[in-house]
Amino acid sequence: MDDAPADETVLREVLDRWKDAVDRREPERVAALFTEDAVFQGLHPYSVGRPGVAAYYAAQPAGLTAEYTILTTNRPARDLVLGYLAVDFSFTDRPTLSVFLGVLLRRTATGWAIAHYQVSLLPPEAAEEQ
């Protein structure tokens, strides 16, 4: 019998905390949701580790908020959950930025954490086809 939680449940537990920390502009709290060796690719050059994640979110404008929709999940191994999401980042002074986000969560000794995070910014016509 497999006692592993459902993939979407795992993603929501981590991503709801990620969203809350992003919305509250708490970059250190965002970074704490990642593994120590996480590969992070936002819309700027990639980084490895929590300091890069914290720096990325600290540089975001005040008022940034995130809304996500899980598009699909996969479990490549018992301690890994892969998620592909649509995310809308809203700002107070410019239009909403819609992106696709791939995350790989890994179960660690302290719980689930983001081990890989990669944003894709598709042209509008490609996003409409999704």
pLDDT at 44: 87
d(C-alpha 13, C-alpha 46), whole Å: 25
Domain segments of the chain as ranges = 7-120
Q: What is the CATH topology of the domain spanning 7-120?
A: Nuclear Transport Factor 2; Chain: A, (3.10.450)
pLDDT band at 2 (very low <50, low <70, confident <90, very high): low
72 vs 93: CA distance, rounded Å: 31
pLDDT tens figures, 16-55: 999 999 999 999 999 999 999 999 999 988 999 999 999 9
Tell me what percent of the residues of the chain surpass a pLDDT of 90: 87
Question: ∠ CA(93), CA(118), CA(105), 5° rounding?
Answer: 120
pLDDT of residue 1: 38
Over residues 70-90, the pLDDT tens digits come to 999 999 999 999 999 999 999
* Residue 129 in this model has a pLDDT that exceeds 90: no
